[in-house]
Structure 1
Amino acid sequence: MPFDEMLITESEPRDPYKRYFDWHSEQKTSDLIKKSRDAENVFRKTGITFAVYGKQESSERLIPFDVVPRIIAGSEWRKLAQGIEQRVVALNAFLDDIYHKQEIIKAGRVPRSLIEQNDAFLPEMIGMRPPGGVYTHIIGTDIVRTGEGQFYVLEDNARTPSGVSYMLENRETMMQMFPELFHINKVRPVENYPKLLRQSLAAVAPPGCEGKPRIAVLTPGIFNSAYYEHAYLADQMGVELVEGSDLRVINGKVAMRTIQGYEAIDVLYRRVDDDFLDPLTFRPDSALGVPGIMDVYRAGNITIANAPGTGIADDKAIYSYMPEIVEFYTGRKPLLENVPTYRCSEPDTLQYVLDNLAELVVKEVHGSGGYGMLVGPAASKRERTEFAAKLKSKPGNYIAQPTLSLSTVPILVKKGLAPRHVDLRPFVLVSNKIQIIPGGLTRVALKEGSLVVNSSQGGGTKDTWVLED
């Protein structure tokens, strides 16, 4: 049975949910459904949408929002935060090492081929140390909870993690719709994230930066699936939202076009992938980046967040080595465990995966958004057969994991409350200190029994409450 985060029995709530449970028992379901519709209208009017690629019927969708909060006790959160911080420290140390001395490879803890033959590894970053020594300025660590109530890390998002705007909008909407709940529950704030993000980015400005650093958010443009978030964060931080065409290299600096002429930028929070960042260094056909920005970066005249080359830490094959990586750089066993992972690149393991496809979840090592994966128990025999052919042709492209019994939290349905599976993406800011936002983005599978929580695959979101002790 999945771990029910709200209920011990049908009438007995767990401690974090007691005040919410008592409040909910006094509410009419019809009134809550009306509030849910009101929240949907707020999201629609605000324009909180995401683009879905390859869907002819609709290129823009509203992410479904559920009005039942997910609630985490303060004591649980402290343990979770300690494990996340340990992992973030290890990831930054790993990135610094593989682009410099490569001690972890020499020690035989990670195969050299896994690094050097990885498309996300950028030889251009070898010997290059970012300002402040920070590679991953913003990290989204995907966490799941299993049938025993134990937390596991499902994935590290160290390149350009998205979803924080939904976390902020979810909280704002809940505070508008249900202010009384925030009077009876001491919920830790998340709404100061834009301020913390700006402070964190300013703290890693280049050494030669004089005065208050100028910060900008680089977006691929309005057709990007996360454009709403790019615009939202720039607005909330009070910084400029720019596209590649707004920038050029002038006198050894990246400068932004303004009505007063071009003005230098010190920190660029980029939401453009490595390949498109600099057409002179990477893809020559890119119109999204800035020609020559890597030369400015190498000269130490701009901070790019997150640093180019961090994508290798997103790789799911690298993920399978995270226990070794954490212990190598911190000297301690991981406080947060990985989900058990099978590397299909290893012949014996590949055979095991092929023999047990009906029980496993198989993912592309570079995949994201729920695409390119097989959920064995939910797949047809034909789908498993077709996927097996893909596995045999390119086994190194895949890893496999057991089908987890993800924890459930209630969502609001016409008849009242119903349990659905969830994950959690806490957001971490790294500069001269590490700050973990208390809560994060809870993604929920709205279909009964579904384990796929991604918004692109029909999932929704919830407000996540971390309680004060």
Structure 2
Amino acid sequence: MFTSYKVEPFFDEMLKASGKPKDHYEKFYDMIKNFSVEELKEKHETAQLSFLRQGITFTVYHNNVGAERTMPFDFVPIIIPPKDWDIIEKGMVQRSEALNCFLQDVYNDQKIIEDGIIPRNLVEENPYYYAKQIKGIKIPLNNHIFLAGIDLIRDENGEYLVLEDNLRNPSGISYVYQNRYVMRQVYPEFFAKHSVQTLEHQVTFLHEAIMDHAPKGIANPRAVLLTPGTYNSAYYDHVFLAQQMGLQMVEGRDLIVTNNIVYMKTIRGLERVDIIYRRIDDDYLDPDAFLEDSTLGVKGLLDAYRLGNVAILNGIGNGVADDKAMYVYVPDMIRYYLNEEPIIKNVTTYRLEDPIQREWVLEHLHELVVKNVGASGGYDMLIGPHAAEEEIERFREKILETPHQYIAQPTIKLSRAPAYQGEEFYPCHVDLRVFVMRGKETHVFPGGLSRVALKKGSLVVNSSQGGGGKDTWVMKSGGLS
């Protein structure tokens, strides 16, 4: 099955350079070898159908037209041994703690700016910095980050690096569960032979973390999940989480603020709401405080928030910390707030506001990846080695016009893993979104969302750009059974 499979020059999650499986993949490799071509094809098709039957979809928008798609799924899992997971877990706890310290600081005393660690203009000119609306507000647990989704990659040496931080509305937990559900349904023999950490208690931890943010004096808080509605690309994620946690799912029109208290409209009258897990962006939360023409939010919500009558998760204004330009400074935040060295490093990043760095980057565009600091989902991005000359020139003009809007990074030889698509195994680039849940305690979701660039040769793992998902197995101590 793997005769034509090429490992080098990349780090492969499953195979050694010799083509033999790594120790933690051995049992899995032995099992998969025993399937016939027909069995593999059948299992692959069954997995795709399982997603379709359950309605597991996301929406891709092109020219303002939305198309529902099922998430492409690959049945070769990413398997993480305990010692690797231990490093990831510690690194994620450290990073999310430092980022929360930064958010608490920039919306209050701004010591990190006063001490010259981070340039003032990078904070105050950031479009996601909402000082006018929320500076000095006291929030439950001083916790701005209830849920973080931190994207990791591995380089050609197998070292984990942080690619980006998602601290606003990270999505994908539902797909982690559905990937596992499909694997258990279609490949039960895999689980019979492996000691894989389960996901069963993670939704409980997520629910507890939400309830930990209850406003002072509220003994039995009511929490709701606020969604923009069915047209949102992550709507499936919203429905899944609301159902699993037993939260009422609401839209802005279902809520009303009276005397600075938030209420939900029900057939039994108004019922008080204490915690809002919102899945809509800051700008749409309250037309009185943000965009006047927003129909998704709730008038007066910010006043209720300011007075401590309702908690909003994730915190308002978190975008100032997960901006791609601010990413450069996260290692400095870890040193400054925690007095520790980063456990997991950043990818080397060039800030194009700096004339010296910009000049070097413009000379090496064909070797680099360039990203818009405000974009996500793989949009407005240049992958130099794969780009046509006219695309490179277009990005050169964009950088010269608005240098602060872009960063550049080396084209890392992203690690790869086998994927089975179209009746063959071939190597695809992968990354991993790790979810960190923060309440009174911090929990790291065991595994997370492994995303795979299913187009041959592609480096883009985003589902909106043709990527798919894999199940992620964190092995229990003791390894394979």
Moved more, 116-125 or 48-57: 48-57
Aligned pair 1:187/2:199, yes or no?
no
Moved more, 55-64 or 188-197: 55-64
Moved more, 170-179 or 147-156: 170-179
Structure 2: how far apart are the matches of 1:270 and 1:57?
25
* Contact kept? 1:135, 1:310, Cα under 8 Å: yes
* Contact kept? 1:29, 1:414, Cα under 8 Å: no
1:468: which partner in 2? 476
2:216: which partner in 1? 207
* Contact kept? 1:208, 1:301, Cα under 8 Å: no
Opposite residue 347 of structure 2, the aligned amino acid is V
Structure 2: how far apart are the matches of 1:330 and 1:431?
19
1:317: which partner in 2? 325
Q: CA deviation at 1:232?
A: 1.1
Aligned pair 1:106/2:114, yes or no?
yes
Counterpart of 2:253 (choices 245, 268, 277) is 245
Structure 2: how far apart are the matches of 1:270 and 1:29?
46
* Contact kept? 2:174, 2:240, Cα under 8 Å: yes
Q: CA deviation at 1:194?
A: 2.2
Opposite residue 342 of structure 1, the aligned amino acid is Y
* Contact kept? 2:286, 2:300, Cα under 8 Å: yes
Q: CA deviation at 1:128?
A: 1.1
Structure-to-structure mapping, 1:206-225, within 5 angstroms:
206-211=215-220, 213-225=221-233
Opposite residue 172 of structure 2, the aligned amino acid is G
Counterpart of 1:234 (choices 242, 246, 251) is 242
* Contact kept? 1:214, 1:267, Cα under 8 Å: yes
Aligned pair 1:344/2:344, yes or no?
no
**RMSD of aligned C-alpha atoms?**
1.2
* Contact kept? 1:314, 1:366, Cα under 8 Å: no
Aligned pair 1:167/2:170, yes or no?
no
Counterpart of 1:61 (choices 48, 59, 69) is 69
SS of corresponding position for 2:391: helix
Opposite residue 204 of structure 1, the aligned amino acid is H
2:142: which partner in 1? 133
Aligned pair 1:196/2:205, yes or no?
yes
After superposition, give the CA deviation of every residue in 1:279-315 in whole Å (9 maximum; x if it has no partner): 0011110000111111111111111100101111110
Q: CA deviation at 1:260?
A: 0.9
* Contact kept? 1:120, 1:312, Cα under 8 Å: yes
* Contact kept? 2:365, 2:384, Cα under 8 Å: yes
* Contact kept? 1:171, 1:191, Cα under 8 Å: no
Opposite residue 458 of structure 1, the aligned amino acid is G
Opposite residue 377 of structure 2, the aligned amino acid is G
* Contact kept? 1:327, 1:333, Cα under 8 Å: yes
Moved more, 186-195 or 129-138: 186-195
* Contact kept? 1:363, 1:372, Cα under 8 Å: yes
Opposite residue 121 of structure 1, the aligned amino acid is Y
Q: CA deviation at 1:9?
A: 4.0
- The number of residues matched between the two structures is 468
2:3: which partner in 1? none
Aligned pair 1:15/2:23, yes or no?
yes
Structure 1: how far apart are the matches of 2:84 and 2:161?
13
Q: CA deviation at 1:39?
A: 1.4
Q: Give me the identity figure in percent.
A: 46
SS of corresponding position for 1:370: coil
Structure 1: how far apart are the matches of 2:307 and 2:195?
47
* Contact kept? 2:41, 2:423, Cα under 8 Å: no
* Contact kept? 2:260, 2:301, Cα under 8 Å: no
**Change in 2 beyond 3 A, CA 1:116/1:202:** same
1:177: which partner in 2? 186
Opposite residue 149 of structure 1, the aligned amino acid is G
Structure 1: how far apart are the matches of 2:76 and 2:372?
33
Aligned pair 1:392/2:374, yes or no?
no
1:37: which partner in 2? 45
Q: CA deviation at 1:413?
A: 3.0
Counterpart of 2:59 (choices 30, 48, 51) is 51
Q: CA deviation at 1:317?
A: 0.6
2:4: which partner in 1? none
Moved more, 445-454 or 406-415: 406-415
Opposite residue 307 of structure 1, the aligned amino acid is G
Moved more, 57-66 or 92-101: 57-66
* Contact kept? 2:16, 2:22, Cα under 8 Å: yes
Unaligned segments of structure 2, at least 5 residues: 1-8
Opposite residue 142 of structure 1, the aligned amino acid is D
* Contact kept? 2:74, 2:421, Cα under 8 Å: no
Q: CA deviation at 1:416?
A: 3.4
2:152: which partner in 1? 143
Counterpart of 1:93 (choices 98, 101, 106) is 101
Q: Give the TM-score of the pair, scaled to structure 1.
A: 0.98
2:5: which partner in 1? none
Q: CA deviation at 1:252?
A: 2.6
1:411: which partner in 2? 419
Structure 2: how far apart are the matches of 1:317 and 1:426?
21
Counterpart of 1:366 (choices 371, 374, 379) is 374
After superposition, give the CA deviation of every residue in 1:166-225 in whole Å (9 maximum; x if it has no partner): 1111011111111221121111112433222111101111112122x2111100111111
Opposite residue 157 of structure 1, the aligned amino acid is N
SS of corresponding position for 2:385: helix
Opposite residue 181 of structure 1, the aligned amino acid is F
Structure 2: how far apart are the matches of 1:140 and 1:15?
29
SS of corresponding position for 1:36: helix
Aligned pair 1:450/2:458, yes or no?
yes
Q: CA deviation at 1:116?
A: 0.5
Structure 1: how far apart are the matches of 2:325 and 2:350?
9
Q: CA deviation at 1:11?
A: 4.6
Structure 2: how far apart are the matches of 1:54 and 1:208?
47
* Contact kept? 1:249, 1:293, Cα under 8 Å: yes
1:27: which partner in 2? 35
Structure 1: how far apart are the matches of 2:112 and 2:90?
23
Q: CA deviation at 1:56?
A: 7.2
Structure 1: how far apart are the matches of 2:217 and 2:292?
30
